[in-house]
Amino acid sequence: MIIRHAKGVTSKQARTGWPEGTYEDEHGRDGFAGEVSMLYRAHPPTRWTGIEGPLKPRAIDSAAVRPTDMGDAAGVPTRLLYNDDVHIYVSRRRAPMSYYMRNADGDEIYFVHEGTGTIESDYGPLEYETGDYVVIPKGTNYRVVPGSPDNFFIIIESRKGPTGFPERGMLGQHVPFDFALLQCPDPQPILDEGGEYQVRIKRADEWTTVYYDFCPLDAVGWTGNLCPYKINVRDLRAPYSERTHMPPTTYATFQCPGFWVVTFQPKPFETAPDAERVPAYHRNVDYDEVVFTHSGRLMSRAEDQGAATLTLHPAGMHHGPNPRAFEAAKKADRMEAFLVNIDTEKPLKWTDAFTGAEDPNYWATFSDRLVPVAP
């Protein structure tokens, strides 16, 4: 439907010149791409006095999670959130994996929050560093070999199909990044024999171990279009407008069946006098939104949340600027932040590890009427 109505007190154009005393609330379908109306409200819809039920906004300190791979070379990452399409894990691996991994449940997107090292695979080694996305296709034999003791990964497992890239359409081929930046490995076979080598295969979250007396990473060459690859967030160059606030989809990095991975990145604030710098309130009724803070903070927040904070905003529940974000955005020239945003079509469930690291007051930070309670 292309007909646009304008009833009552509205701005001339969304995202600019909110009428005095109003708060813009985006009511849209299909994330930020579908039919939409902007409502101009007399109160922020997040000025709640209480919430009961599963849609409460949640936040955890993911650095407080202690995966078994943190202290055990044979350990595994810890799952935090999941649905049929995507599982999200944290890994703190300090020592080289004592086994080779083959994930038969899905592709894995490793986001390197901290650390350096190498991911050895059938296709050859890929060195990683802080800020890298490393994509490992379903079924690849691989092993993570940390080069520093501080490795911290968020792993996004795509269970319904391969990792792809959003359509770029009118943006052309070089925005939000040049595909030539994707790096893939050169073969480097490990021709060790003797000893025992394990390949642990994960299928339907159950493990099968295969034993060899030679290293399984013995491919002397490869040809095709399926392989691990990486790109660093500093190489992303999302489009920007000085006259209007761009929607989150502008920053989309990967698209997988049932979810998107979006990278919020440093940008100057809008400079047009009537451009709103903070996002509208929204209830993103078709997607759950997960945001992992790599560095800095979103323009919708006035206070730092701390690196490694991971938030969950379930579909249907409002979120948006917290009470002091409007003033904070006026004083700053830029948003200096990298954040990994995962938007899922299906509702996410959370694990005990997630709730064990939860900030019980997060939901209250959106409302200036609430005084946080002691945890």
Q: Is 27 annotated as a binding residue?
A: no
C-alpha to C-alpha distance for 89 and 58, rounded to whole angstroms: 16
Report the distance separating Cα 81 and Cα 192, nearest Å: 38
The string over 238-264, giving b where at least 16 C-beta atoms fall within 10 Å of a residue's C-beta and e elsewhere, is beeeeeebbbbebbbbbbbbbbbbbbb
CB of 355 to Fe ion, least distance (A): 22
Residues contacting 195, CB < 8 A, separation 6+: 213
Q: Which is nearer to Fe ion, 71 or 347 (CB)?
A: 347
**Could you tell me where the DSSP H helices lie in the chain?**
325-331, 352-356
Taking the least distance from each CB to Fe ion, the nearer of 142 and 287 is 287
Q: Which of 245, 294, 313, 318 is catalytic?
A: 245
Identify which of residues 26 and 157 has a Cβ nearer to Fe ion in the complex: 26
For residue 90, which amino acid is it? V
Task: For residue 121, count other CB atoms closer than 10 A to its CB.
Answer: 25
Q: Tokens in use for 180?
A: 């030539």
**CB contact set of 137 (below 8 Å; sequence gap of 6+):** 107, 162, 163, 226, 227, 228
Binding stretches for Fe ion (CB under 5 A): 289
Is 282 annotated in a binding site? The answer is: yes
Neighbours of 161 (CB within 10 A): 13
Output 102 or 318, the one with its CB closest to Fe ion. Answer: 318
Give the count of beta carbons closer than 10 Å to the beta carbon of residue 294: 22
Question: Which backbone phi and psi does 42 adopt, to 5 degrees?
Answer: -80, -15
The torsion region of residue 21 among left (phi > 0), alpha (psi -120 to 50) and beta comes to left
- Report in angstroms how near the CB of residue 265 gets to Fe ion at its nearest: 16
CB of 296 to Fe ion, least distance (A): 17
Instruction: For residue 288, say whether it is annotated as part of any ligand binding site.
Output: yes
| CA atoms within 13 Å, Cβ hemisphere of 160 | 15
**How many angstroms separate the CA atoms of 361 and 204, rounded?**
35
102/245 with CB nearer Fe ion:
245
In angstroms, rounded to a whole number, what is the distance separating the alpha carbons of residues 248 and 321? 15
Residue 313 Cβ vs Fe ion, minimum distance, rounded to whole Å? 6
Specify whether 294 is catalytic. Answer: no
- Closer to Fe ion by CB, 120 or 289: give it: 289
For residue 324 the two structure tokens come to 């002091």
For the CB of residue 322, give the shortest distance to Fe ion in the complex, in Å: 13
Rank residues 85 and 289 by Cβ distance to Fe ion and give the closer one. 289
According to DSSP, the residues that pair with 158 across neighbouring strands are 86, 107
CA-to-CA distance for 210 and 201, rounded, in angstroms? Answer: 8
* Shortest Cβ 262–Fe ion spacing (Å): 10
For residue 248, the minimal CB distance to Fe ion (Å) is: 7
What would the two tokens of residue 22 be? 């109003």
- Number of residue whose CB is nearest Fe ion: 289
- Residue ranges for the known binding site are 282, 288, 319
What residues are labeled active site? 245
- Residue ranges for the known binding site for homogentisate are 319
- Residue ranges for the known binding site for Fe cation are 282, 288, 319
